[in-house]
Amino acid sequence: MITAAAPQVAVQDGVTVVSLVGAEYENLDERLLDGIRTSLLDIAQSANPPLMVLDLSHTKFFGSAFIEILFRVANRMKNRGGKFALSGLTKYCAEVIHITHLDSLWPVLPESTAAVAKLKE
């Protein structure tokens, strides 16, 4: 496992916005996933209120193992009575989300500010 910088966490209008920023997050491969899983699940557990946007604007590639992490994070938010959204997907990542029909489960918006507004509805 490779240790990456901690995700950036900010609260915007009562919504926790998590950004994976840094060169190590461009390709979310197996080497990083244990650390990312732990960080994202911890953030999802502590977000108060349970509203979370994951900004992937710096991520160019992810595979099925990362999709499993997205499911776990979204389920944790749902189990807490909250909501989850994605923002900032690159063309490739947006295509993966669309082909797998995950965009029917979670809001997917171009920018985190739009995703925050959507979760506040």
For the stretch 16-54, pLDDT in tens is 999 999 888 999 888 888 889 999 999 999 999 999 999
- Give the mean pLDDT of 74-85: 97
Q: Tell me, what CATH number does 49's domain have?
A: 3.30.750.24
Could you tell me the pLDDT band of residue 6, with boundaries at 50, 70 and 90?
confident
Does position 5 have pLDDT exceeding 80, yes or no? Answer: no
- Which residue, 58, 18, 14, 66, is CA-closest to 42? 18
17: in domain: yes
Preceding peptide of 49 cis, ω within 30°: yes
Could you tell me the pLDDT band of residue 12, with boundaries at 50, 70 and 90?
very high
**Distance between CA atoms of 64 and 10, rounded to whole angstroms?**
27
96: in domain: yes
Q: Please give the residue range of the domain that contains residue 46.
A: 8-119
2: in domain: no
1: in domain: no
Does position 4 have pLDDT exceeding 90, yes or no? Answer: no
Number of domains in the chain: 1
